[in-house]
């Protein structure tokens, strides 16, 4: 088997084309709709220890990445993953098969449409229709069952949102979404191909060409995209973004049962913590884990009578169990030494700032700490973004890591004061 080729900027790491990082190769698995059985979780944990460094990322697309894989052991790992059905056979397909689905999708849960069959149909279309291979590497699709957990805040390009047994086809525009048309679940592959073709035809060539659907919609309007894709003008309508829900703690009943939602600090699991989750799923729940794009894992089918005891165990295993935990409002990339592009480590500073971030104005993630302007941990704007430089942190307000900063050279002890001066912190009582 040939040597792995490091990924190019703008592409997500895969298994066949892993990203080279400071701690070795990063190998992304292909999990269907974020569903992970207990035996498979246990197997992945074992592979992470055997071929990697025991560190596993839970990604923003509800996927897993094994870290610390060496060039020498990578070919054998690929063989093991292929036997488990966890990789594609084609690196080009792997690069664009980016589908995020509702975390509790599937029979038995209280949702408006079962999207698992549609995930499979879209995955098959991406694997066979060459139009998808021409999309930019980070282009992604959402299949939202229209149920309890809206997926509006996921970094993606085309949304299929369940409604009355069909899917609305939507693209983001001006902070909300525009419906291009509707499609039956079994026709989702053809609809996705039509939207992908419209994007490719309309995005423009060269450096100035749009790489994301929201950029194209902002430039020419979603209606033009719908027209080009062949959807009737009568089907166009706008809707505001739906509020994200918390997925942490004990919840339910929800359709077929209750669940535990466990937060994963900075999306970083270990072989030990994944093994612990597999045990929990097998011994006290339905035997399955559901990965979410919000750095949390759902354990469905638990008995709420014993949830307090299970949550106490989860705390001991290093998971976040309270929706009020300040670590939930901070995101940070791995930084140094794991990433070679990093200006330094960032996660320790991010944890130290979590209490401050929890008191900032806003909802959801409020503070993004990045070790370089690429901003891998969050592509959307945040109330405050800190970008590590060799001389200190740059601070961007209501923007992304590559936006212009309002302050530069901030030391960690200066950051709270800088946020106060910008009136980004509620009240005056922190100190
Ligand atoms: S944002 Fe962080 S993880 Fe991404 S390239 Fe920069 S330093 Fe590396």
Q: How remote is the CA of residue 115 from the centroid of ligand 1, in Å?
A: 33
CATH of domain 104-240: 3.30.413
Note whether 296 and 247 are within 8 A (CB).
Answer: yes
Which residue minimizes the CA distance to atom 3 of ligand 1? Answer: 333
State phi, psi for 345 to the nearest 5 degrees: -70, 150
Which one is predicted more confidently, 364 or 345?
Answer: 345
Q: Say what the pLDDT of residue 7 is.
A: 39
**With bands split at pLDDT 50, 70 and 90, how would you rate the model's confidence at 364?**
confident
Would you list the domain boundaries of the chain?
Answer: 1-87+247-323, 104-240, 328-421
Q: What architecture is domain 328-421?
A: 2-Layer Sandwich (3.30)
Is the CATH code 3.90.480.20 the one for domain 1-87+247-323?
A: yes
Which residue minimizes the CA distance to atom 4 of ligand 1? Answer: 376
Q: Which residues 6+ apart lie within 8 Å of 261 measured at CB?
A: 246, 247, 248, 249, 250, 251, 292, 296, 297, 298, 299
Which ligand 1 atom is nearest residue 371's CA?
7
Rounded Cα gap, residues 319 and 59, in angstroms: 16
Rounded Cα gap, residues 43 and 263, in angstroms: 21
Q: How remote is the CA of residue 336 from the centroid of ligand 1, in Å?
A: 9
Q: Say what the pLDDT of residue 235 is.
A: 66
Rounded Cα gap, residues 335 and 343, in angstroms: 8
Q: Say what the pLDDT of residue 431 is.
A: 33
Nearest to 375 by CA among 402, 341, 339, 406: 402
Rounded Cα gap, residues 89 and 41, in angstroms: 21
Q: Running DSSP on this structure, what letter comes out for residue 78?
A: H
Rounded Cα gap, residues 338 and 76, in angstroms: 23
Q: How remote is the CA of residue 255 from the centroid of ligand 1, in Å?
A: 40
Q: How remote is the CA of residue 59 from the centroid of ligand 1, in Å?
A: 14
Which residue minimizes the CA distance to atom 6 of ligand 1? Answer: 372
Burial group, residue 149, by CB count within 10 angstroms (0-12, 13-18, 19+):
buried
Q: How remote is the CA of residue 62 from the centroid of ligand 1, in Å?
A: 19
Q: Say what the pLDDT of residue 362 is.
A: 79
Q: How remote is the CA of residue 144 from the centroid of ligand 1, in Å?
A: 29
Which one is predicted more confidently, 202 or 8?
Answer: 202
Q: Is beta strand 392-399 parallel, antiparallel or unpaired with respect to 382-389? A: antiparallel
Determine the 3-state secondary structure of 250 from DSSP.
strand
For the entire predicted model, the pTM comes to: 0.91
pLDDT in tens, 27-65: 999 898 899 999 999 999 999 999 999 999 999 999 999
Ligand 1 pocket at CB < 6 A: 333-335, 339, 341-342, 370-372, 374-376
Which of 57, 372, 402 is the pocket-test mutation for ligand 1 (most atoms within 8 Å of CB)?
A: 372
Which of 67, 155, 333 is the pocket-test mutation for ligand 1 (most atoms within 8 Å of CB)?
A: 333
Which of 334, 369, 378, 385 is the pocket-test mutation for ligand 1 (most atoms within 8 Å of CB)?
A: 334
Q: How remote is the CA of residue 372 from the centroid of ligand 1, in Å?
A: 5
Segment 284-290 shows an average pLDDT of: 93
Q: Say what the pLDDT of residue 188 is.
A: 96
Rounded Cα gap, residues 135 and 138, in angstroms: 8
Note whether 368 and 397 are within 8 A (CB).
Answer: no
Residue 295, CA distances (Å) to 62, 345, 350 in order: 8, 20, 16
Which one is predicted more confidently, 84 or 107?
Answer: 84
**pLDDT surpasses 80 at 112:** no
Rounded Cα gap, residues 209 and 205, in angstroms: 5
Q: Please check whether the two domains, 104-240 and 328-421, share a CATH topology.
A: yes
Nearest to 338 by CA among 1, 13, 2: 13
Cis status of the peptide bond prior to 101, with omega within 30 of 0: no
In the chain the first and final C-alpha atoms are separated, in Å, by 57
The rounded percent of the chain whose pLDDT value lies above 90 is 71
Q: Say what the pLDDT of residue 249 is.
A: 92
Q: How remote is the CA of residue 400 from the centroid of ligand 1, in Å?
A: 13
């Amino acid at each position: 088997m040939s040597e792995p080729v490091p990924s190019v900027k703008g592409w997500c790491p895969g298994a066949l084309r892993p990203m080279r990082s400071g701690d070795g190769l990063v190998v992304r698995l292909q999990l269907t709709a974020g569903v992970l059985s207990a035996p498979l979780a246990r197997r992945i944990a074992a592979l992470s220890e055997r071929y990697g460094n025991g560190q596993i990322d839970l990604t923003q697309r509800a996927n897993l990445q094994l870290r610390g894989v060496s060039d020498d052991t990578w070919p054998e790992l690929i063989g093991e993953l292929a036997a488990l059905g966890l990789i594609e056979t084609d690196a080009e397909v792997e690069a664009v098969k980016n589908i995020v689905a509702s975390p509790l999708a599937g029979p038995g849960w209280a949702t408006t449409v079962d999207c698992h069959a549609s995930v499979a149909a879209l995955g098959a279309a991406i694997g066979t229709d060459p139009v998808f291979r021409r999309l930019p590497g980070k282009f992604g699709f959402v299949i939202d069952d229209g149920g309890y957990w809206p997926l509006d805040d996921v970094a993606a390009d085309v949304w299929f949102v369940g409604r009355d047994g069909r899917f609305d086809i939507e693209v983001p525009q001006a902070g909300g979404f525009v419906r291009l048309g509707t499609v039956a679940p079994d026709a989702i592959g053809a609809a996705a191909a039509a939207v992908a073709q419209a994007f490719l035809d309309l995005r423009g060539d060269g450096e100035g060409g749009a790489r994301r659907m929201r950029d194209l919609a902002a430039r020419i309007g979603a209606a033009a995209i719908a027209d080009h894709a062949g959807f009737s003008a009568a089907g166009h309508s706008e809707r505001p973004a739906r509020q994200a829900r918390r997925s942490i703690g004990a919840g339910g009943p929800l359709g077929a049962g209750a669940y535990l939602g466990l937060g994963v600090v900075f999306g970083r699991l270990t072989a030990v913590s994944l093994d612990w989750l597999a045990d929990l799923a097998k011994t006290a729940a339905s035997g399955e884990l559901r990965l979410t794009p919000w750095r949390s894992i759902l354990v469905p089918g638990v008995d709420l009578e014993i949830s307090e005891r299970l949550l106490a165990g989860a705390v001991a295993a290093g998971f976040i169990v309270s929706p009020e935990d300040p670590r939930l409002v901070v995101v940070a990339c791995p930084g140094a030494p794991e990433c070679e592009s990093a200006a330094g480590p960032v996660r320790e500073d991010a944890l130290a700032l979590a209490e401050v971030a929890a008191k900032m104005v806003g909802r959801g993630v409020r503070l993004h700490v990045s070790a370089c302007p690429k901003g891998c941990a969050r592509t959307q704007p945040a109330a405050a973004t800190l970008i590590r430089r060799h001389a200190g942190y740059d601070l961007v307000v209501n923007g992304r890591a590559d936006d212009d900063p309002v302050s530069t050279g901030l030391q960690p002890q200066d950051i709270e004061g800088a946020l106060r001066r910008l009136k980004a912190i509620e009240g005056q009582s922190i100190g």
